[in-house]
Amino acid sequence: MHNLLGKDQLVCSFLVVLPFSTVVAQNNANIDVGLSLTAGDNDARWLSPSEDFAFGFHQLENGNFLLAIWYYKLTNQQTTFVWYANGENNSAPRGSKLELYSDRGLVLKDPRGTQLWSTSGEIAAGSSVFYAVMNDTGNFQLLDENSNPLWQSFEHPMDTLLPGQIMEIDGNLTSRKGENDFSSGRFVLRMLPDGNAVLNTINLPSKNSYDAYYISGTNDDANQSNRGLRVVYNTSGDLYVLRGNREREIILSEGSISTSDNYRRVTLNFDGVLTLSYHSKEPSSSWDTIAYIPDDNICEKISGEKGTGPCGYNSICSIQSNGRPSCKCPKGYSFFDPTDAFSGCKPDFLTNYCASDSPFEEYSLERIPNTDWPTSDYELITPYDQQSCQNSCLHECLCGAAIFRNNSCWKKKLPLSNGRDGLSEFMAFLKVGRNSSSKIPRPPGTTPPRDAKDQDNLVIVLSSLFGTSAFANLILVAAICSILFFNYKKNKKLLGISPRETCVESNLRQFTYKELTEATNGFKEELGRGSCGIVYKGETESSVLVAVKKLDKVFQDSHKEFKVEVNVIGQTHHKNLVRLIGYCEENQHRLLVYEFLSNGTLARFLFGDCKPSWTQRIQIAHGIARGLVYLHEECSTQIIHCDIKPQNILLDEYYNARISDFGLAKLLLLDQSHTKTNVRGTKGYVAPDWFRSAKVSVKVDVYSFGVILLEIICCRRNVDMEIGGGVRGILTDWAYDCYADGKLDALIEDDMEAMNDIKRVERFVKVAIWCLQEDPNIRPTMKKVMLMLEGIVQVSVPPSPCSFTSVN
């Protein structure tokens, strides 16, 4: 694989490692200090003399701009970038400005003057930039008055190497997150101090490397002076490791591709494959791959005990003819990000297998031939037959999948990693929700579907109506009416409600104080305390669990107000609101009776010892948003909650978010646009509107939702001085700083599920920042918030939450 160099070759080798400015001799158009580019301008670029390369702003699909270098003449296809500056979740909004300074070099600022990127830290103290050039090699340089480079893009590669480019010890190429996602991905090519060039998968939050799936083998312990020194991509088209004795260890080679008629590049793709490719300088052609590594099957090469393969967790990797992986989700699973096949797969059903009393009824096993997830085993049973392997996995709550091969059964638990197909004699059995019954569980309190027998009987009855005498028809109609009335009374009884006890306006039961005292065993078991009173656990005579809210003096002096509040609450019906069953108004006692929700508050769910799954948190955020949209825009009387916080969000048995305590604040009538009232809410969630003379609107709930959304993302309280104080102590401040600095990984730390869905994390953070705007007029409506969360409406770059003008 290597060749010893002759004397002539040795001279050429030394030329490669000379400074780039001495190797490349060309007439460059100088870019003077003081010149600038503005994102969005038609000419926001600086071209190389041949116009092969452009340096400047390129607009992305989201409307923002990437500061990059690209092949300028290849305009008939997707732009091919060879370098980019601000890809770490830090794209520049329209109007951002790049300026060349003598002391700091290049400085990129957004329209508000916030610095997004700079070369200042790379320029030696005391040095002064005299001018800049965009070379025909694709190298952008900042030069001093003697034309010595102070900074150059070739020394800071992203995911691409160009002919003549070198990667020294500790240098690296890092893949993108996706084809059009320029944040750092999960793959890296590194030149190690031990002399080896390696390809690794990495842990995104910490950049910690997992097992290498390619090693150059240039670490010579017996002769350390012969170790690898650098990775070189020379102008002849070879990518190699140069050893200490000037020996070359070839990594990839182009062969006989013409250098004058073709563009050439080496790219670490977002799927982990390192490719060497070329493109004719005729724009009508396309990029062709000459060579790649791993040169056999990357689906098999990435097989470490930690991390996952090219396709993410729970997915199945297949190799294509060009050496690139293809990813798919097994039946019952779908991509975390529907637009990214490499994002991994999430189950479309509840995976709390151990909570099921009858797993055989709720789950089934999906047969997937020639497939394995080799690094997810927790138990091996051998010898064993195939049927026993299936039964064992189906009835064991820890088992998410089983692999049968050669009379052996490997049990596996979720998440499944390094999935691959094409393995003969392997049979995978994947546990999935039976007939999707676990995917959309029936909410508690809903009427079960009429069984087949009842439906058949009804069909028989209806059919006979039209084949009998009029007298018989009358008898049948009377019988049907009696049955319907009986079922109505029966359903009322199931909820502990009788027709004579209901409130006409809202169909609520009116309880006596004695009934609720007995139901709560003398108000013995307290569930929680709120601004309006204390909540107790109770049970009606018909064994229905309830939550009884014993109100304080808020409503004691206003019989009319209480009745209005109760009727409005009783008329609200939405799957993301807690349902009101009844009330008590007796003497000075005012109580509300709600359905009991078994999984408690969102606060207990988020801030416990174990971090909840990212998938559950996503659904909870969507549920809260939908509930608020209903209160603000869809119910008959518009309601401002005024105290949205995790303690007022409850979770039902399926962990659906249900908003409680709505309607207990002052109501906003449909023909009103604003209302003034005293400050309401809870510290840490209260909008600044309350403390000014500004009129209070539904935007106070939007602000509170922004706080909760950040808490859902980070699984921590907004105000938490025990984690180190300073800016980290206030989540809303720290989250914006992390977003502005392009360090969202710090917010979610070791949450790998969220890291694998970082695009959604970024979208959620941006939505939260929009909600937290100090000026309520800038905050979006909850309807728009919901659409942004769901990805239906694009989320633009938010400004700093602290406005520069006060709201009067």
Q: Which residues are catalytic?
A: 643
Taking 3-state DSSP, the helix, strand and coil percentages for the chain, each rounded to the nearest 5, stand at 25, 30, 45
Residue type, 603: A
**CA gap 413, 430 in Å, rounded:** 10
Find the angle CA(500)-CA(501)-CA(507) to the nearest 5 degrees. 100
Dump the DSSP string for 623-686: HHHHHHHIIIIISSS----S---GGGEEE-TT--EEE-STTSS----TT-S-B-----S-TTT-
In angstroms, how far apart are the furthest CA atoms of the chain? 116
**CA gap 601, 551 in Å, rounded:** 19
Strands of 97-101's sheet in order across: 36-38, 97-101, 105-109, 115-118
Answer for the pair 501, 509: CB distance below 8 angstroms, yes or no. yes
Choose among 58, 55, 63: nearest CA to 28: 55
Helix axes 731-740, 758-771, angle to 10 degrees: 120
**CA gap 426, 401 in Å, rounded:** 13
β-bridge partners, 659: 577, 649
Tokens of 315: 């997915």
Dump the DSSP string for 157-212: -SSEE-TTEEEETT-EEEEEEETTEEEEEEEEEEE-TTS-EEEEEEETTTTEEEEE
Tokens of 539: 């049970």
Residue type, 533: G
Name residues whose C-beta falls within 8 Å of residue 598's C-beta, 6 or more positions apart in sequence.
652, 653
Residue type, 645: K
Answer for the pair 261, 274: CB distance below 8 angstroms, yes or no. no
**CA gap 113, 111 in Å, rounded:** 5
Residues 270-304 as b/e (b if ≥16 CB within 10 A, e otherwise) read bbbbbbbbbbbbeeeeebeeebbbbeeebbbbbeb
Alpha-carbon distance values, 692 to 591, 679, 730 (Å):
33, 10, 22
**Residue 460 buriedness (CB in 10 A; 0-12 / 13-18 / 19+):** exposed
**CA gap 340, 345 in Å, rounded:** 10
Alpha-carbon distance values, 227 to 68, 193, 309 (Å):
34, 9, 30
β-bridge partners, 560: none
β-bridge partners, 765: none
Q: How would you classify the pairing of strands 580-586 and 509-510? A: parallel
β-bridge partners, 319: 325
Residue 485, H or E segment: helix 470-494
Answer for the pair 204, 214: CB distance below 8 angstroms, yes or no. no
The three-class DSSP label of residue 464 is helix
